[in-house]
Structure 1
Amino acid sequence: MSQPLIQLQQMVEPALNIQEMQFWLDKAVAWGQTDSLDTQKDTCLHLSRLRDFLQQLLIHINNMSSTTETMKRLPFLGQFLGRLCWIPYVTADATSRRLLFQCLWGLFSEHPGSAVERKANQWIRKVLRQLSTEEDDVAAQALLKHMGVPPEEYHVKVLRKMVALMQKNIGKSCSSLGDINQRCSCDNILATSEACVPLVTCPEAAPLIGALLEQPVTCVRAALSEDFLDALSAAHSSQCLSLEEQAVVSLWCHNLSSLEEAVLSLLECVLTNTGSTPQTIQEQLAKSLLPKACAQHCSIFSVVNDMFRSILKQAEGIEFVKYLIQTFTSRFLRELSPLRHQMSVSLKALFPQSPHSLLVPLLTPPSEMPQEAWRHHLNWLSGSLQRLTEEEEERDRDSSSSTRGHRKVFEAWFLLVQCAQWVQVAVQLLVTSGPEECTPLLWLLTFYHHPTNRGHHRALQLVRAKEAWDHLHSLFLVLGCPPPPVDRLQSLVALLSPQPEIPPLSPFLIVDLLVNFAVFSQQSLSASTEILQMVVDWSGLFDETHHVLSSLELRLNEGSCLSSHANKVHLRIKALHNTLKHGALLRTKHSHSNTTH
């Protein structure tokens, strides 16, 4: 046993474990002798235990009657604390730094009564002067009176120096070496990332974190520590860490859980916010980095798309989820457009599970196609999807392959949801269609809202959709301002009620048709608002109607709306919105009046 340990064992109080004291003395010496990656990693791994020991040591110092007694019992305490003051990883940690300097403060005597205490005070002042950015005794005295904590500037300086050293340790990756025989330092990346775990919430560590995340993975030794990635993900999601955009994208590439959390957070904003509207969804996506990240990395898009596919299976009838998926896909494609020639990525690679024949027709936005071609294009899409579903029904006769058929139709529907602007174009064209022209467009609309035959009875739903179109066509065909036929309105609303063994027609299907007829038909505005208001009052579909009106207004602004009189359409949409709001206000007042009485 070493002489210092023998003396410590004789002098220390039972409250302090002798073996633990020796352990930390050895650690302090070892950490101070070299600044290797192994040393950095070892320091970071032991920080938590060191804090506990310093807390125990502080209690011990405070229980002593004087510094003379403390130094008599622990003669090597000054050496131990002094060594720790010069280890950047210890002083960079806020809790360890605070405990360390509280221990120094505990040793400082305001009225030194012996040579030992005077010498101790002189040493403490010297340490604090050297550690602080100020050089005069006045600054040191001020620090002592505030529990001995040096100015913040010093710690920032120490932390930046330590970050610079760690960043230098990353070295060159394989891809930057000119000589293939030259050894790369990719093996340092793992150790550096592990050593960086305690620093993830320090703003000064941002350059190092960014450098680690953006380091090209050129060999197996260039992997980042899972603890580092998990710590980054937790800090970023709790907003304790601010990262540059590219660093966030790199984090998503390295850490699947952080990417999944970002997608779930986006979905949660839509599903839990009772005030969600098409505008708020657009705003959420405008602030989100996910569409841009998906355009830069196909692997990210694949994960996000799989999550959307999964949530859509569970939330088939939630229109806000459909709208989110459609808007996200649209933004992703806009971000991807200028990058495609650089990345040489095909649509088949981006949408591997979708029917390939439908990719280009659906992913081409209406704004990029002449309006005269829209009807022919939609008829082709409707026919292609109808053939796909008929093939599924044939496969259903063979139980061994029915699952495969169902999956194929689901993928076609999922792609249609992603490109739902074409469905909205179909609804708009239904306003000016005749009875012979409306069938393929109604089939497409019905398929969008009722994609599978299992439990949906798509064929019967198509018949009911045709009835809804007939009622609306009759209501808006007669120009002028006669009172709308009550029987037609009642029959229209009745289609929302379930029939024996048949689920009700989707409210959004009827509201889609109703709003488009009110906006684009030649019917007068006063008659259109009266019809819309009566249907909304009887059906209670205020939120659904508001959603469709808002999304229609956004489409008009984007240019994916067929209209030669955009200003007139905007005015009609505004008037219909005001009618809805006025009706809602009257219902609220009436309800309040009934409650009061």
Structure 2
Amino acid sequence: MAQESVDLSCDYQFWMQKLSVWDQASTLGTQQDTCVHLARFQEFLRKMYEALKEMDSNTIFERFPTIDQLLAKACWNPFILAYDESQKILIWCLCCLINKEPQNSRQSKLNSWVQGVLSHILSALRFDKEVALFTQGLGYAPIDYYPGLLKNMVLSLASELRENHLNGFNTQRRKKISLPMSAVVCLWLRHLPSLEKAMLHLFEKLISSERNCLRRIECFIKDSSLPQAACHPAIFRVVDEMFRCALLETDGAPEIIATIQVFMQCFLEALEKENKQLRFALKTYFPYTSPSLAMVLLQDPQDVPRGCWLQTLKHISELLREAVEDQTHGSRGGPLESWFLFIHFGGWAEMVAEQLLRSAAEPPAALLWLLAFYYSPHDGRQQRAQTMVQVKAVLGHLLAMSRSSSLSARDLQTAAGQDTETDPRAPAQQLIRHLLLNFVLWAPGGHTIARDVITLMAHTAEITHEIIGFLDQTLYRWDRLGIESPRSGKLARELLKELRTQV
């Protein structure tokens, strides 16, 4: 108990100093510092309340002579007060200072002061004059805040009533009251739980929706307002970290990778729409990678001449390989950090296999390395080299068979080594399956055996879902880049439709 008392006194001095610094809440640095430390400060307030409730008012001021100053600084900080949990604990602490039967004028004045502060807390988020402190803290003057808020409320309610009238008060289709994007960004910057809740809501929608449908995922992501808000690096970093956690929890599930790639595309579109030039340095969005690598990846393949795609992929491979395998100049995050960056850019990541199959020349070692790294970032240098040899051999067989006048699905599977007893879940096997799928979509004779090839490959429900995901993602990318041929696109759509009816 004595140790707890000492700890609380030390914490008290620390937070008193912090609150004094936070008084300058108009600067970006203090605002960010408040958000970073808010959870710890709330825990301190809980401990403080547990101590205060065991004392009378006189004992409290003997033990903590400046407790009224500490609570006042907290109560007048709009970023602390914006969080419901902070308001609740502050009210509890203030109530401990009240004398139920004041014996002198000092105690009466203290009671009046506490009542005033409680009144401030309870009114700070209501529509009265005290709201000015909070709205100004968020960067809005009341004269701008009220008209905008009322206009949004009226328009939203009018739309809701009109829709209810047309749909027989169908509550499942009611609209929410909307906020301007600038207000949403301010909220998410200063109230982390609301941003986390928005991300969790997006994950819930993704989980409950149809698997492997990127168009629907794109709609969900855009409706969430997260790509637009992520133009601010602080929000981008939080969102990206939650995607990283989802990726690790699912052991690199293809659906999560595809979702990250769609989000990144929506984010880049929002960034381009907001400003033609980056307002923030690339390092603030991707702190663990070299700016040169980020700059290359950020190029949209649509903006690069098709004849230069192969050269760009080679350059990406060289930069990634240096970051992954060169221990002297490697990135701080190591191979997984480089891989996590690479998978964001599906336009480049999913293009490698196509480029290898559509080129009659010797497969470039840089692209073989990039393909092996993309599918299995955990591998060491020696294991990745073995995968490159295996992939090169498969590519040789496929290119030889593309010149054959008669193709069979069984021969194709044998040439790719898919008829052996290897684990189909192994990354190298997934890589080879995707090479085969690319082959039947692009090779002149591949269309005639495409269904037979898929029948031989899809011997489990999980592989069937994998093939559906591959076809859906390929069509989504072709549509964006405008690179599909009419025959290949028609075949891919037919296969996708047929497979979806089977699961």
TM-score normalised by structure 2 residue count: 0.61
Aligned to 2:225: 289
Deviation per residue, 1:22-65 (Å, 9 max, x gap): xxxxxxxxxxxxxxx99xx9xx99xx99xxxxxxxxxxxxxxxx
User: Quick one: which amino acid aligns to residue 387 of structure 2?
Assistant: Q
Decide whether the 8 Å contact of 2:228 with 2:267 is kept in 1: yes
1:526 to 448, 456, 463: 448
Decide whether the 8 Å contact of 2:413 with 2:453 is kept in 1: no
User: Quick one: which amino acid aligns to residue 188 of structure 2?
Assistant: W
Aligned partner of residue 196 in structure 2, secondary structure: helix
Aligned residues: 365
Q: Mapping of 1:458-477 within 5 angstroms?
A: 458-477=384-403
1:309 matched to 2:244? The reply is yes
1:354 to 279, 283, 289: 289
The Cα of 1:300 is off from its aligned counterpart by 0.9
1:562 to 477, 483, 492: 483
The Cα of 1:507 is off from its aligned counterpart by 4.8
In the alignment, the residues of structure 1 paired with residue 321 and residue 474 of structure 2 have an alpha-carbon distance, to the nearest angstrom, of 26
Decide whether the 8 Å contact of 1:270 with 1:281 is kept in 2: yes
In the alignment, the residues of structure 1 paired with residue 396 and residue 320 of structure 2 have an alpha-carbon distance, to the nearest angstrom, of 24
Aligned to 2:356: 430
In the alignment, the residues of structure 1 paired with residue 388 and residue 361 of structure 2 have an alpha-carbon distance, to the nearest angstrom, of 14
- Residue range with higher mean Cα deviation, 460-469 or 421-430: 460-469
Aligned to 2:325: 390
The Cα of 1:448 is off from its aligned counterpart by 0.8
Q: Mapping of 1:418-567 within 5 angstroms?
A: 418-434=344-360, 436-453=362-379, 457-480=383-406, 484-485=410-411, 488=414, 491-494=417-420, 496-497=422-423, 504-537=426-459, 541-559=463-481, 562-563=483-484, 565=485, 567=486
In the alignment, the residues of structure 1 paired with residue 209 and residue 471 of structure 2 have an alpha-carbon distance, to the nearest angstrom, of 19
RMSD after superposition: 4.3
Inter-CA distance 248–532: structure 2 relative to 1 (3 Å threshold): same
User: Quick one: which amino acid aligns to residue 213 of structure 2?
Assistant: T
Inter-CA distance 278–477: structure 2 relative to 1 (3 Å threshold): farther
The Cα of 1:520 is off from its aligned counterpart by 1.6
Inter-CA distance 249–209: structure 2 relative to 1 (3 Å threshold): farther
Aligned partner of residue 317 in structure 1, secondary structure: coil
Decide whether the 8 Å contact of 2:227 with 2:267 is kept in 1: yes
The Cα of 1:284 is off from its aligned counterpart by 1.6
In the alignment, the residues of structure 2 paired with residue 505 and residue 575 of structure 1 have an alpha-carbon distance, to the nearest angstrom, of 27
Decide whether the 8 Å contact of 1:428 with 1:562 is kept in 2: no
The Cα of 1:425 is off from its aligned counterpart by 1.5
Decide whether the 8 Å contact of 2:407 with 2:449 is kept in 1: yes
In the alignment, the residues of structure 2 paired with residue 514 and residue 435 of structure 1 have an alpha-carbon distance, to the nearest angstrom, of 18
1:262 matched to 2:184? The reply is no
In the alignment, the residues of structure 2 paired with residue 417 and residue 495 of structure 1 have an alpha-carbon distance, to the nearest angstrom, of 29
In the alignment, the residues of structure 1 paired with residue 128 and residue 319 of structure 2 have an alpha-carbon distance, to the nearest angstrom, of 60
Decide whether the 8 Å contact of 1:164 with 1:208 is kept in 2: no
Decide whether the 8 Å contact of 1:480 with 1:524 is kept in 2: no
1:412 matched to 2:338? The reply is yes
Aligned partner of residue 379 in structure 2, secondary structure: coil
Structure of greater Rg: 1
Inter-CA distance 315–170: structure 2 relative to 1 (3 Å threshold): closer
User: Quick one: which amino acid aligns to residue 562 of structure 1?
Assistant: I
User: Quick one: which amino acid aligns to residue 466 of structure 2?
Assistant: E
The Cα of 1:245 is off from its aligned counterpart by 4.1
Deviation per residue, 1:549-578 (Å, 9 max, x gap): 11111111111x534x3x333212123224
Inter-CA distance 278–472: structure 2 relative to 1 (3 Å threshold): farther
Decide whether the 8 Å contact of 2:297 with 2:345 is kept in 1: yes
1:379 matched to 2:314? The reply is yes
In the alignment, the residues of structure 2 paired with residue 317 and residue 287 of structure 1 have an alpha-carbon distance, to the nearest angstrom, of 25
Aligned to 2:496: 577
Aligned partner of residue 444 in structure 2, secondary structure: coil
The Cα of 1:493 is off from its aligned counterpart by 4.5
Higher RCO, 1 vs 2 (CA within 8 Å, ≥6 residues apart): 2
Decide whether the 8 Å contact of 1:495 with 1:504 is kept in 2: no
In the alignment, the residues of structure 1 paired with residue 349 and residue 381 of structure 2 have an alpha-carbon distance, to the nearest angstrom, of 22
Decide whether the 8 Å contact of 1:270 with 1:321 is kept in 2: no
1:163 to 127, 131, 138: 127
Aligned to 2:233: 298
In the alignment, the residues of structure 2 paired with residue 537 and residue 370 of structure 1 have an alpha-carbon distance, to the nearest angstrom, of 40
Decide whether the 8 Å contact of 1:496 with 1:505 is kept in 2: no
In the alignment, the residues of structure 1 paired with residue 132 and residue 298 of structure 2 have an alpha-carbon distance, to the nearest angstrom, of 46
User: Quick one: which amino acid aligns to residue 285 of structure 1?
Assistant: I
Deviation per residue, 1:65-112 (Å, 9 max, x gap): xxxxxxxxxxxxxxxxxxxxxxxxxxxx9xxxxxxxxxxxxxxxxxxx
The Cα of 1:373 is off from its aligned counterpart by 0.3
Decide whether the 8 Å contact of 1:553 with 1:570 is kept in 2: yes
Decide whether the 8 Å contact of 1:281 with 1:324 is kept in 2: yes
The Cα of 1:443 is off from its aligned counterpart by 1.6
Decide whether the 8 Å contact of 2:325 with 2:381 is kept in 1: no
Decide whether the 8 Å contact of 2:300 with 2:347 is kept in 1: yes
Inter-CA distance 495–443: structure 2 relative to 1 (3 Å threshold): farther
In the alignment, the residues of structure 1 paired with residue 214 and residue 266 of structure 2 have an alpha-carbon distance, to the nearest angstrom, of 14
The Cα of 1:405 is off from its aligned counterpart by 5.9
Q: Mapping of 1:361-376 within 5 angstroms?
A: 361-376=296-311
The Cα of 1:306 is off from its aligned counterpart by 2.6
- Residue range with higher mean Cα deviation, 470-479 or 374-383: 470-479
In the alignment, the residues of structure 2 paired with residue 167 and residue 471 of structure 1 have an alpha-carbon distance, to the nearest angstrom, of 72
- Residue range with higher mean Cα deviation, 353-362 or 510-519: 510-519
Deviation per residue, 1:143-194 (Å, 9 max, x gap): xxxxxxxxxxxxxxxx9xx7255557879779899xxxxxxx9xxxxxxxxx
Inter-CA distance 279–475: structure 2 relative to 1 (3 Å threshold): farther
Q: Mapping of 1:579-594 within 5 angstroms?
A: 579-581=498-500, 584=502
In the alignment, the residues of structure 1 paired with residue 136 and residue 459 of structure 2 have an alpha-carbon distance, to the nearest angstrom, of 69
In the alignment, the residues of structure 1 paired with residue 381 and residue 206 of structure 2 have an alpha-carbon distance, to the nearest angstrom, of 27
The Cα of 1:416 is off from its aligned counterpart by 0.5
The Cα of 1:446 is off from its aligned counterpart by 1.2
User: What stretches of structure 2 of length at least 5 have no aligned partner?
Assistant: 1-74, 82-86, 93-121, 154-173
Decide whether the 8 Å contact of 2:288 with 2:332 is kept in 1: no
Aligned to 2:163: none
Inter-CA distance 544–496: structure 2 relative to 1 (3 Å threshold): farther
In the alignment, the residues of structure 2 paired with residue 555 and residue 312 of structure 1 have an alpha-carbon distance, to the nearest angstrom, of 21
TM-score normalised by structure 1 residue count: 0.52
The Cα of 1:259 is off from its aligned counterpart by 0.9
In the alignment, the residues of structure 2 paired with residue 172 and residue 535 of structure 1 have an alpha-carbon distance, to the nearest angstrom, of 61
Decide whether the 8 Å contact of 1:355 with 1:412 is kept in 2: no
